[in-house]
Structure formats: structure tokens, C-alpha cells
Chains A and B, each alone.
Chain A
Amino acid sequence: MYGVLTAAILSIGGTFLFLTFAIVANKAWREARESWGRARRRALEPKILSYAHGEDRSLLPALGGRLRRRDRRVVEEILLDHAQRVRGVERERLGRAIDELGYVDGYLAGLGSRRWWRRADSAERLGIAGADRATNRLVRVLSDPEPEVRIRAAKALGLVGGKAAIGPLIHALSEPNRWSTIRIADILAGMKQEVVNELVAEFDRMNTHAKLAALDILGRIRSLSVVGWLRQRLSDPERDVRARACHALGAIGDPDCGPVLQKALSDPEWPVKAMAAKALGRIRHFPAIPELSGAMRDKEWWVRANAAEAMRLMGPKGTEALERMLDDRDIYARHQAVLMLEESGVLDRQVDLLWRSDGPEREAAESLIRRFVRVGQMGRLRELLETHPDVRVREALAGMLGLAVQQAGGGR
């Protein structure tokens, strides 16, 4: 019995001892390997960077004529690290070295792996390497069953660039997954002018989902060359297409589009009106102020809010119109005017003027504040009554609010 117990204790102790030794040895080995890796990186990185900044056709002479097996991982890490931080000639040279040393072949093989994370990783690395010979394979990976692999392949195609990559990426905009469409739209927008003509050419063949994304991309790229084409989209039978076209025109900011956007304000569909209003504000089209004032009475909140916001963006002329809207017959229009005048700081600036005992500025300030009170929107005024640093202003405001509250209560 005693012997069995001793043997059990010894075997458990031995196992623990062995495990401790194994853990310590493993950690020591890993640390030694990392330290060796850092030392190799310090030794190899300047050579690789000299190659990147230089004129040599190959990286191999800088590495002593051949790539040692033990250095493969370190060299790959250095090349990929730098390739993703630069563009232009240096990136091309680093990409060429990645291909020359056989890494691209490895990534291409990785695209066929059964493990999805290896396929995703390989696609990503092909993009960093800018491996244009991988374009066709990456295009095929766009139909990978795993969404993460598809997205990394799309990103890689965006980095590889070129006409061959654009078509499949545009096609991928029709992905049913909205998240994927957003990511692909980001990639295409990042490719800038290169994708503009292709997007326009493919537009009629796209589903609605992709068409809307394409219009957003064109707006983000802000290419003046598509303004005429976007104006034609304002008569598209689909309301969402018309709305996004308005948005894109506003984003591009061509002031000549003012009249067509002004016309779009009377579109029968509210999303189009809302986007037209927003765009008119972005391009500061002053002649649209009367129509925007009218849009502030629209039955749809988005139209009212965007119209008021547009007038705020138009500066003093828009602000004057917003002040006039404080006396409008429509309660919703009055509320939007209050919100915008508060947001633009007009109310605060007028309240600041109450320190004056008289004069035209004081009268104008009082007049505006009384109109706010009549509308019944006094939240900001009450805040200022409590927080304004000037006691004269607080006193004047208290007097006006007291009088006015009674008037407002009786009037409405």
C-alpha cells in the first residue's frame, strides 16, 4: 500500500516536473527565436530598404545572392510591413521582390487551402504585394463561401488595382449582404478616378442595390466628369436612384447644378426632395431659398429638416430666411427654424447683445427673442437665463421671458 502511494506521488510529481520543464523550455525557445528574429530583422531591414529606395533590379544581391531558408519568414515580414506603408515606385519594387522570392506563389497556393483563414490571409497578402498576376485568382475568390475571404479578396483587388480588378469589384456591389456592399464601395471609392468610367458604363446592368452604391461612390470620388451623367439620373424612374443622384451632385459640389436640384425639390417623392434640399445647401444655391422655405412645411420630417439645414449652411442669407420662418403659419416650419437658429449660434449671439440698454442692435435682439418665445421653443433661452456670464443679460432675459411666457400662453 505504502509502495503504491509512493509510486503515485512520484509519478504525479514527475509529471508536474516534466510539464514545468516543457513549459519553461518552450518559452525559452520561443523567446530565443523571437530575439533571433529581431536580430535578423535589424540586419536585413536596412538592406531591403536600400533595395526599395535604389535602382537594383533584384533584391537577391542585397541578401548575398540567395534567400536563406531560415530568413524566409523575417524577409517576408519586412517586405509586407513596408509594402503596406508606401505607394509609388517603392511599393512596386517591394512587390516585385515579394514575387521574386517566391512568396506570391505561396499565397496563390494558399488561396486553394481548405482552411478559410489561410485563404483570407493569402488573399490579403496578395493585395499588399500588389500582385497583378493574381487578379484572376482573386476574382474567383470573390465567390468564396466564406464572407471574410470574399471581403479580403475584394480589398486585395482594390490594392492591386487596374482595369481587370475593377469589373469584378463592381459586379460584387450586387452582393445581397449590405455590409459587404459597404466594404466594397469603400474599396472602389478608394480607387478614385480609375473606377468612374467603368461604374457609369455598368450602371444600367446593376440591380438597384448596386446602383445606389455606385452613385454614392461617384459622389465620394467627386469627379466633375460625371456631373452631366448624374443630372440625367435625376429623371430615373426609380425614386431612390433620383435621390442618391441628388446626394452625389451635392457631394461633388458643382454650383451649376443648382437649377436642376432646385427643380428636384418639387419631385413627387419625399426622399428625392430631402436629398435635393441637402445638396442645395452643400452647393449654397441662394436662388433656391424660397423653395427651401416652402420645403420646411413638407409633411415629411426629413424634407423639413434637410431644407432647414440647407438654409443654415447658406450663411447670412439662409439665416435671414430662417428668421423669417419664425413667423410662418406652419408650426413644424417654425420649429425647424428655431432648431437651426439655435444650432448656428444666432440665438446665442443675439442674447449676448441684451447687455446694451438701447439702440437698434438691442431692439433687433429683443425682436428675435420674442419671436422665439412666441414659437414656444424656450429651452435654450432658459439655459442661457441660468448660465449666461453677464448678469445684465440674465436680468433682461428674465424680464422678457416672464412677459413673453404670459403672451405665448395666451396667444397659442
Chain B
Amino acid sequence: MTAGSARVRILVADDDPVAARFMATLLGEKGYEVLVAADGEHAFEIATRLKPDLIVSDLVMPYRDGFDIIQAIRNHESLTGVPIVIVSMKDREEDIVRGLETGADDYVVKPFNARELLARVRKLLARGGGRG
């Protein structure tokens, strides 16, 4: 699955509209179809309805936080294998470990490096979406 072929669908979940727009533009320019959700509840609803190929999610969001969303996605029959990248301001070791243990495939700390985020997204998509 590449950005150039069938449009890869990525869900960006972040309650910070500036960060969400930045990521959406970044990914959109690389040919991905980007869906944006401003809170956890909305993110889960979009994910179940539109089945993204990858999810980029913040941790601190209204209604449902990122940990909760990851857990719900991992427990959802049709979403369980969708790769998830956390992009969060939380940079403490225990948050990163918790994020990865909850089921995220990768963790990027804000402020983030756009190229690094893109590389991680590409790598996870190239892995075929499986969680190993």
C-alpha cells in the first residue's frame, strides 16, 4: 500500500486544530486521504464507519482519551489490526510505555519532526497494517 496507488486513508485525531491541520496538510500533500477528528468519541465513530488504514492520534482529547480509543480499536473486530501512531505532548517514559502497551504501534512526542512522522507512517503502512 503506497500513497501513490489506491488512496490510503489516514485518520488524524487531535483536539488541537492547528496540529491537526498541520498533520492533515502534511499527509494530504503526500497523497493520503486524510480524515480529521477533534475528539476521541468522534475519532472512534469515524474509525468504525470509514475504516482508515492508519490512525494518528493524540492522547489528551475530550470525551475519550487516546488510551481509551486505542483500547477500543484493538478490541473492535474490524479495526484490531489498524496501525496506530500516538502523537502527544506527554513525553514521560511511563506515558510512552503505557501508550505502546495499550496497543499503539509507534509513539511520537510533540513538538514533532514532520519528516520523522511521515517516515513512521510509511513504515507502518508498508508493514501491511498487521500488528505483528
**A91 within 8 Å of B by Cβ?**
yes
**B116 within 8 Å of A by Cβ?**
yes
Q: Range of interface residues on chain B?
A: 10 to 19
**B7 within 8 Å of A by Cβ?**
no
Q: A50-B29, A53-B29, A87-B111 are in contact. Are A82 and B22 (CB under 8 A)?
A: yes
**B114 within 8 Å of A by Cβ?**
yes
**A81 within 8 Å of B by Cβ?**
yes
Taking a contact as CB atoms closer than 8 A, the residue among B18, B113, B115, B116 that contacts A82 in the complex is B18
| Most chain A CB within a 10 A radius of its CB, from B22, B113, B115 | B22
Q: B21-33 toward A: CB 8 Å interface, digit per residue (1/0)?
A: 1100110010000
Q: A49-B22, A82-B18, A82-B22 are in contact. Are A88 and B115 (CB under 8 A)?
A: yes
Taking a contact as CB atoms closer than 8 A, the residue among B16, B18, B29, B114 that contacts A90 in the complex is B114
Distance between B16 CB and nearest chain A CB, rounded to angstroms: 8
Contacts of A91 in B (CB 8 A): 111
Contact A50 B25 (CB under 8 A): yes
**A363 within 8 Å of B by Cβ?**
no
Taking a contact as CB atoms closer than 8 A, the residue among A46, A52, A85, A88 that contacts B18 in the complex is A85
Residues in B5-38 with C-beta less than 8 Å from chain A? 16, 18-19, 21-22, 25-26, 29
The prevalent SS among residues of A at the interface is helix
Q: A45-B21, A49-B22 are in contact. Are A86 and B29 (CB under 8 A)?
A: no
Q: Range of interface residues on chain A?
A: 10 to 19
**B110 within 8 Å of A by Cβ?**
yes
Residues in A71-85 with C-beta less than 8 Å from chain B? 81-82, 84-85
Contacts of A86 in B (CB 8 A): 22, 111-114
Contact A89 B18 (CB under 8 A): no
Q: B90-129 toward A: CB 8 Å interface, digit per residue (1/0)?
A: 0000000000000000000011111110000000000000
Contact A84 B26 (CB under 8 A): no
Measured CB to CB, the residues of B under 8 A from A are 16, 18-19, 21-22, 25-26, 29, 110-116
Measured CB to CB, the residues of A under 8 A from B are 45-46, 49-50, 52-53, 81-82, 84-91
